[in-house]
Amino acid sequence: MGELAERTNVTKRTIDYYTHLGLLEAERSPSNYRYYNHSSIDRVHFIEKRKKEGLSLEEIKQEIIETRSQEVDVLELRSKMTDLEKEVSGILTHLEKTDQKKCGEIKEKISRESLSLIQTLLLFLS
């Protein structure tokens, strides 16, 4: 906690208060010391910047919660897109082994519409 306070130019008491409010997350050591990861430095800077812009700590907390949920949504979407791409590839592989004519028709539709969309979304989300 002391190192985070030193690196961000805020007091240990402020770090403790932000943690208590849920603005910062800390891991506890076996001896009950709090450890903060490197992203906590950016978080403290974000909090201090938003405070200077006139936001209350509650408003800042809501922004943090919204950002987290958006990040989770993007990660979930990326995961689902990857799964969908694998599923489509599996279906195409299965079709290639069975009926060549149907496979060609389906592959054309999937290739033009779905696969390009999937690939574009994956690139966008990466």
pTM to 2 decimal places: 0.54
Which of 34-43, 49-58, 89-98 has the lowest average pLDDT?
Answer: 89-98
State how far the Cα of 71 lies from the Cα of 65, in Å rounded to an integer.
10
Tell me the two tokens of residue 48: 């201090």
Q: Indicate if the pLDDT at residue 112 is higher than 90.
A: no
Which amino acid makes up residue 115?
Answer: L
One DSSP character per residue, 17-71 reads HHHHHTSS--EEPTT--EE--THHHHHHHHHHHHHHTT--HHHHHHHHHHHHHHH
Report, in angstroms and rounded to the nearest whole number, the Rg of the chain calculated over CA atoms.
24
Residue 57 sits at the vertex; the CA angle it makes with 56 and 63, to the nearest 5 degrees, is: 95
Residue with tokens 């812009």: 53
State how far the Cα of 37 lies from the Cα of 25, in Å rounded to an integer.
9
Q: What is the mean pLDDT of residues 19-32?
A: 87
What digits encode the pLDDT tens for the residues 44-53? 999 999 999 9
